[in-house]
Amino acid sequence: MKVKITNLKFKCIIGILPKERIKKQKIIINTSFKYNFKNDVFINYAEVTSDIESIMKENNFKLIEDALKYLNKFLYNKYEIKKLKIEIIKPTILDNCDVSVSI
């Protein structure tokens, strides 16, 4: 099975600029992963989204790259998943574009 979670939106502290360390900014997270669905054992996508949001809000990452590495390790360890993809988008950091980093 493949699960896709798109446009997960919330505000958190993330970034290295002084203004990013003070004021929460909107981020968008997209993720997808595969897992073996068998005998009605499934991954609760609501729990996955809650985990992602909690981690991001609690850790106040300076770099998107550090957040991605942390989320990647956490999700692989907690859930029996395969082929995880995660993207973090900062839509308001620059006036003329969205910036994203993915793993």
Asked, for residue 66, whether it belongs to a domain, the answer is yes
CATH of the domain at 78: 3.30.1130.10
Q: Is the pLDDT of residue 92 over 90?
A: yes
d(CA 63, CA 93): 13
Asked, for residue 51, whether it belongs to a domain, the answer is yes
- Per-residue pLDDT band at 43 (split at 50, 70, 90): very high
Alpha carbon of residue 36 to chain centroid: 22
Q: Average pLDDT of the chain? A: 96
Residue whose entry in the numeric block shows the structure tokens 């993207």: 87
d(CA 35, CA 46): 16
Please name the helix (run of DSSP H) or strand (run of DSSP E) that holds residue 52, with its range, or none: helix 45-59
* The total number of structural domains that make up the chain: 1
Asked, for residue 103, whether it belongs to a domain, the answer is no
Q: Please give the residue range of the domain that contains residue 70.
A: 2-97
Amino acid at 17: L
Mean predicted confidence (pLDDT) in 65-81: 97
Asked, for residue 67, whether it belongs to a domain, the answer is yes
pLDDT in tens, 20-41: 999 999 999 999 999 999 888 8
d(CA 56, CA 96): 25
Asked, for residue 93, whether it belongs to a domain, the answer is yes
DSSP structural state of residue 13: -
